[in-house]
Amino acid sequence: MILSGFITKLILLYAMASKKELFNLFYGESKDKLYRLCLGFTGNTADADDLFQEVLIKIWQNLESFRKESKLSTWAYRVATNTAMLFLKRRTQLYDRQTTLDTTVQQTPVAPGPEAAVQKEEQISKLYQAIATLKEIDRIIISLLFEKCSYQEIASITGLSPTNVGARINRIKNSLSKKLV
């Protein structure tokens, strides 16, 4: 009963919210997730910053086309995924090179601290570097999984079946495990 009332209020908010209000609501709740998705696609912070900005612009420009048939976050992930694929295609064409296993990742400076924090930063950097070597669809899937999207949500965003998503996730995990050894 309480959940039903909350959903009704949320639907009314979506229906009555202005573009700016809807964007601000979405941005406040999803900016970190979207940035991590961008980082997963690009493998470095400089390109992730550019892609993130491009994704936000696309979401703003297309917010009126949001039909409210799904969650705003699902729609935005789809916009982000499409934007990221175009971004990577343009970047590849511009530089005329393919992403390889020796892709370098620009690391943000790590504040002096305990040894464990430094090791964690290095592990995260290696993980993003390994993710950057995956196929585009696999980068999308693993990034969405990191954001705790369900198999059904990932399937909806990628256009795959939930069963196919599950199988791909297993293969991605195995591939990443081998690359991180």
Of all residues in the chain, the percent with pLDDT exceeding 70 is: 77
Enumerate domains of the chain plus CATH numbers: 17-179 (1.10.1740.10)
77, pLDDT greater than 90: no
State the greatest distance between any 2 C-alpha atoms of the chain, in Å, as a whole number. 57
8, pLDDT greater than 60: no
30-50: pLDDT as tens digits: 888 889 888 888 888 888 899
What string of DSSP letters covers 7-75?
HHHHHHHHHH--HHHHHHHHHHHHHHHHHHHHHHHHSSHHHHHHHHHHHHHHHHHHGGG--SSS-HHHH
Of all residues in the chain, the percent with pLDDT exceeding 90 is: 12
119-138: pLDDT as tens digits: 777 887 888 888 888 888 89
Contact 79, 54 (CB under 8 A): no
Find, among 159, 132, 148, the residue nearest to 30 by Cα.
Answer: 148
Contact 147, 36 (CB under 8 A): yes
